Chain A
Amino acid sequence: MERDEIFGFRPNIRTIRPPSSLCIRCRGRLMLCGRRTCPLLVRVLPLLDQVEKLSSLRSLEGSSPPGLFVGRIGYPRVLMGPLAVGDRGDVGFMDSPEDWYGLNYRQIAELRVRLVRGIKPLDVKSARDPPEYLLRIHDMLLSRRSSSLELEFSRPPRATVLLVDEAPPFGPSGPIESMRALPGSSDRSAEKVYYDHDMRSEKAVIYLYERGFRISEIQRMFGAGMLGVKKDRKLVPTRWSITAIDDMISRSLIDEIKGYPTISEYRVYVESHLGNKFVIVLAPFRWSFEWMEAWYPGTTWNVSGSRPEVIGDHEGYGGRTTYAEEIGGCYYAARLAIAEALRAERRQAAVIAFREIYEDALFPVGVWLVRESLRRTMNVRPSMFDDARTAFDHAFKILKLPRDLWLSNSHLARALMGQRVLS
């Protein structure tokens, strides 16, 4: 167990997020965070009814999207297994955040809590020489279609709703006694990287990405320890694998865009989605990236605050060498969406992005929300400007948080506004 999970703080970081795993473990029963009411439980309470129904099951006959859950608790011996629902047919969308844009919080949660997490303890290194159980999961993930799946539980699934920052909500979990799967036909590209025991995982990830695999598909294969040099393969907890994939792919895209000319004007992209507002400023300079978030009082990680809390991370042209501690997974999901758009345009730019999270952002649904929102935003024609001043004036008109608060927290904005060019 990590220190922050016990004590409810991370050193050197403004603690506005109770570590979500603490909340999850406590689920409002123990009030480990010291609050009088649990911010998460209050919001998810109505869903628990639905989850209760699933918790009387001893077995489940249905399908897997395919989906995968790899837990973090107990690392390196983790609980992992397939996601399953009692429906037959194509249920792929249930574990494909790429299809969820437009759903509201309730719809997302309802969709997700119907999926039961089958779990079984496995050592992460078992991916090097997969036991039968893991091999059958691999078979399901080699297919890009839903698999028929039958699970027997050793005890009925526990009624839980697991909410974390990075991953989509997860529903009840039940320990697997036995599993029978009928996977769809394997995909050839997936097979190529899976059976290539010498291909480094980063290369395999990019290979799949460039062949049109979705982030969620790549992340599942990576999480199940199906990619990389055979002797290094490992199961990767879902929360980590999501960020790892966003990081790997965006780094590769950034390497590429650094070879392209800069955009020739200032641009401002705006998007509002599920209680979030995103304002992205692109400036005609070489690649750099800053992501800032303002959590308004009443939001998940600033429940009892009286004023918005601002956090941020950034990188220069040379990239990062450390994890984006303040923002976490969202930083990488956002960087991926923006780098993707620049790559499509064969341009580079300096990026300053602002995100405001208001009270109607009910609970964390995963970093896909940021990735998919930005993917759409970056496809819409932006407002264009000749100079930094008018571009930022426009951005701050749309944002709610006062300009000075944003600027005093930004590392790149002021620098960009003042940077002259050689004539």
Chain B
Amino acid sequence: MSFRAISPTPEAWKALADALAELVEEAAFEITPEGLTLRAMDPSRVAMVNLSWNNLSFEEYACESSMTIAVRVDDLKKVMKRADRKDRIEVTLGQGNTIIFRFKDGYEREFSIPLVEVGETHRPLPKLAFNAQAKIVQKALRKIFEDIDTVSDHVTIKAQEGLLEFLGRSEIGQVQARLVDSSPDLLELAVKEPSEATYSLEYLVDFVKAVKPAEITVLEFSSRMPVKLTFPIDEHGSYIEFYLAPRVE
């Protein structure tokens, strides 16, 4: 079993650890010569993460044979908290069922955390057809969700030709955010048919905040159906996807 992957910065690892921490206790990576993948569903079956991190995204990547390994997300998060922005990260497998993270920027640090038994893998992705698709500047989306979070624990997303709206309402008040075709934060909007659906902000706010290194987000949904958010990690086609089931009144 040999595996080695080097990233020039810790950003993607940090984002992944933060995003997973909101959803699951353990995470199983599938490691193949082509790259790393991971699928994790929260225990409520309300949200799911799908990671596709291909070997081109790494400065160096070596994997002789495919394998699946699992770690405790808490462990991963603790290690990633110690990484500085400029650290290069080298990931290898260590002796006695461990995974090793080496941070290099000036002096070298090595964190080794235990692997845990692999639970369920190969979870199928939800099969969904989307009626609305928008490409949004990720920072704007993050702010919109946080705006709405001030009054409500859920957000209603409405899409029609040329207009994407986010609404939150509760006894405290109401918040509305609009992205129109000409908004610099809305890069693309394609609406097959007008759509409207409501989602829990408890999941959305944390997740979107975690993946802040992504510059854009592709948001896809249909009325009363799950939403899918795609966060490209880099220009090599690697991405983190997030699925969230709707709330229906």
What separation, in Å, do the CA atoms of A261 and B44 have in the docked complex? 8
A411 touches B (CB below 8 Å): yes
B1 touches A (CB below 8 Å): no
A285 touches B (CB below 8 Å): yes
Residues of chain A with a CB closer than 8 A to B22's CB = 317
List 12 additional A-B contacts (Cβ < 8 Å) besides A318-B206, A418-B247, A421-B46.
Answer: A262-B44, A284-B44, A285-B46, A317-B202, A350-B44, A414-B249, A415-B200, A419-B44, A419-B245, A419-B247, A420-B245, A422-B226
- Top 10 nearest A-B pairs by Cβ distance? A285-B44, A421-B45, A418-B247, A259-B25, A286-B44, A420-B245, A262-B43, A422-B245, A418-B248, A286-B43
A407-423 contacts to B (CB < 8 Å) = 411, 414-415, 418-423
Given A258-B25, A420-B248: A348 and B43 interface contact (C-beta under 8 Å): yes
Check if A420 sits within 8 Å of B202, measured CB to CB. no
A316 touches B (CB below 8 Å): yes
What separation, in Å, do the CA atoms of A318 and B206 have in the docked complex? 10
Check if B153 sits within 8 Å of A422, measured CB to CB. no
Contact among B26, B153, B245, B249 with A421 in the assembled complex (CB-CB below 8 Å): B245
Check if B25 sits within 8 Å of A421, measured CB to CB. no
> Quick one: closest B residue to A284, CB to CB?
B44
What separation, in Å, do the CA atoms of A421 and B243 have in the docked complex? 10
Q: Which residues of B contact A (CB under 8 A)?
A: 22, 25-26, 41-48, 126, 153-154, 198, 200, 202, 206, 226, 243, 245-249
Q: Which residues of A contact B (CB under 8 A)?
A: 258-262, 284-286, 316-318, 348, 350, 411, 414-415, 418-423
What separation, in Å, do the CA atoms of A350 and B43 have in the docked complex? 11
| B94 shortest CB reach to chain A, Å | 24
Check if B48 sits within 8 Å of A422, measured CB to CB. yes
| A412 shortest CB reach to chain B, Å | 9
Check if A415 sits within 8 Å of B153, measured CB to CB. yes
Residues of chain B with a CB closer than 8 A to A262's CB = 43-44
What separation, in Å, do the CA atoms of A275 and B43 have in the docked complex? 37
| B154 shortest CB reach to chain A, Å | 7
Given A259-B25, A316-B202, A422-B245: A415 and B154 interface contact (C-beta under 8 Å): yes
Residues of chain A with a CB closer than 8 A to B153's CB = 316, 411, 415
Residues of chain A with a CB closer than 8 A to B46's CB = 285-286, 419-422
Which of A262, A286, A422: most chain B Cβ within 10 A? A422
Given A259-B25, A415-B247: A422 and B202 interface contact (C-beta under 8 Å): no
Residues of chain A with a CB closer than 8 A to B245's CB = 419-422
Check if A422 sits within 8 Å of B247, measured CB to CB. no
Check if A422 sits within 8 Å of B248, measured CB to CB. no
Given A259-B25, A317-B202: A418 and B249 interface contact (C-beta under 8 Å): yes
Given A415-B153, A422-B243: A261 and B43 interface contact (C-beta under 8 Å): yes
Residues of chain B with a CB closer than 8 A to A423's CB = 126
Jot down 9 A-B pairs with beta carbons below 8 A, ordered by A.
Answer: A285-B43, A286-B46, A316-B202, A415-B153, A419-B247, A420-B247, A420-B248, A422-B48, A422-B245
Check if B25 sits within 8 Å of A422, measured CB to CB. no
Residues of chain A with a CB closer than 8 A to B41's CB = 422
> Quick one: closest A residue to B243, CB to CB?
A422
Contact among A261, A284, A420 with B246 in the assembled complex (CB-CB below 8 Å): A420
> Quick one: closest A residue to B127, CB to CB?
A423
Check if B42 sits within 8 Å of A286, measured CB to CB. yes
What separation, in Å, do the CA atoms of A175 and B249 have in the docked complex? 61
Residues of chain B with a CB closer than 8 A to A350's CB = 44
Residues of chain A with a CB closer than 8 A to B26's CB = 259
> Quick one: closest A residue to B23, CB to CB?
A286
| A289 shortest CB reach to chain B, Å | 13
Residues of chain A with a CB closer than 8 A to B47's CB = 422
What separation, in Å, do the CA atoms of A414 and B248 have in the docked complex? 10
> Quick one: closest A residue to B202, CB to CB?
A316
Residues of chain B with a CB closer than 8 A to A259's CB = 25-26
What separation, in Å, do the CA atoms of A419 and B199 have in the docked complex? 8
Residues of chain A with a CB closer than 8 A to B44's CB = 262, 284-286, 350, 419, 421
What separation, in Å, do the CA atoms of A286 and B22 have in the docked complex? 11
| A291 shortest CB reach to chain B, Å | 17
